[in-house]
């Protein structure tokens, strides 16, 4: 980790905070965090990835090449695992929402939990892990091309989030005007 990369990370967090503003407490949900981070860690362990190496390779500049390559592989799979965790979280969230359909007051919070785990998974899988992976790839002797699926995958996530937003907002507005 060199200084520009740390500056970039701080910039990223600050800009997200600008958008969140005074709603920070509604953006943190321990349950979703445990589900996403725990899920990804569990899947990495199941896949026998070297998690210790993944952490040391990022923070120490003199890690040997084998560790760096293993860490790159780990972050690459972490991107896929985070999408899997998001899918699981969405499933759990929709069950919670559907279970409480007769109590309109609990739909909003339940939905927020389902959305927050997807949000954490998106930030991990499409921003944090690709960033760490790219930083490690710069250290390899040979140039590594960018994953061809990076842009289509992110586009799919954006389309999904936009459709989801319009659908959720439309349903809620309709139920408010009808009731």
Partner 1 sequence: MRFIGLILVVVAIVVAAGAHASALIDPPSFIMVFIGTIGALLFAGVSIPSMLKAFASANLEEEVKQQAIRGWKFAAGFSLALGASATFIGLVIMLKNMDDPAAIGPGFAIANLTSFYALIIAFAISLPIYKSLERNP
By CB under 8 A, name the binding residues for partner 1.
Answer: 2, 4-5, 7-12, 14-16, 18-21, 23, 26-27, 108, 111-112, 115-116, 118-119, 122-123, 126-127, 130-131, 134-135, 138, 143, 145-146, 150-151, 153-155, 157-158, 160-162, 164-165, 168-169, 172, 176
Rounded CA gap, 163 and 60, in Å?
41
- Paired tokens of 162: 């936009």
Residue number, 12 or 84, with CB nearest to partner 1: 12
- Paired tokens of 173: 């507005």
Q: How far is CA 162 from CA 32, 35, 71, in A?
A: 21, 23, 33
Residue number, 45 or 151, with CB nearest to partner 1: 151
Residue number, 92 or 164, with CB nearest to partner 1: 164
Residue number, 96 or 112, with CB nearest to partner 1: 112
Quote the least distance from Cβ 46 to partner 1, whole Å: 25
Residue number, 66 or 165, with CB nearest to partner 1: 165
* Structural contact between residues 85 and 40, judged by C-beta atoms closer than 8 angstroms: yes
Rounded CA gap, 125 and 119, in Å?
10
> Which residue's entry shows tokens 């590594």?
144
Quote the least distance from Cβ 159 to partner 1, whole Å: 9
Quote the least distance from Cβ 45 to partner 1, whole Å: 25
Q: How far is CA 49 from CA 3, 32, 67, 92, in A?
A: 28, 23, 11, 27
Quote the least distance from Cβ 106 to partner 1, whole Å: 12
- The candidate with the shortest Cα–Cα distance to 57, out of 46, 47, 43, 71, is 71
Return the ∠ at Cα 164 (arms to 158 and 168), rounded to 5°: 150
Quote the least distance from Cβ 79 to partner 1, whole Å: 10
């Amino acid at each position: 980790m060199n200084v520009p990369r740390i500056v970039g990370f701080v910039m990223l967090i600050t800009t997200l905070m600008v958008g969140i503003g005074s709603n920070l407490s509604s953006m943190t949900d321990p349950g979703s965090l445990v589900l996403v981070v725990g899920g990804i860690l569990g899947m990495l362990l199941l896949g026998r990835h070297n998690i210790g190496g993944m952490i040391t390779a990022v923070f120490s500049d003199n890690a040997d090449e084998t560790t760096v390559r293993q860490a790159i592989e780990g972050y690459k799979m972490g991107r896929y695992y985070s999408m899997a965790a998001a899918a699981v979280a969405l499933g759990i969230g929709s069950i919670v929402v559907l279970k409480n359909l007769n109590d309109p007051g609990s739909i909003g919070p339940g939905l927020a939990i389902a959305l927050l785990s997807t949000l954490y998974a998106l930030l991990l899988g499409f921003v944090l892990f690709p960033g760490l992976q790219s930083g490690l790839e710069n250290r390899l002797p040979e140039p590594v091309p960018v994953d061809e699926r990076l842009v289509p995958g992110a586009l799919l996530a954006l389309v999904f989030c936009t459709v989801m937003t319009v659908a959720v907002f439309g349903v809620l507005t309709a139920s408010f005007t009808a009731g």
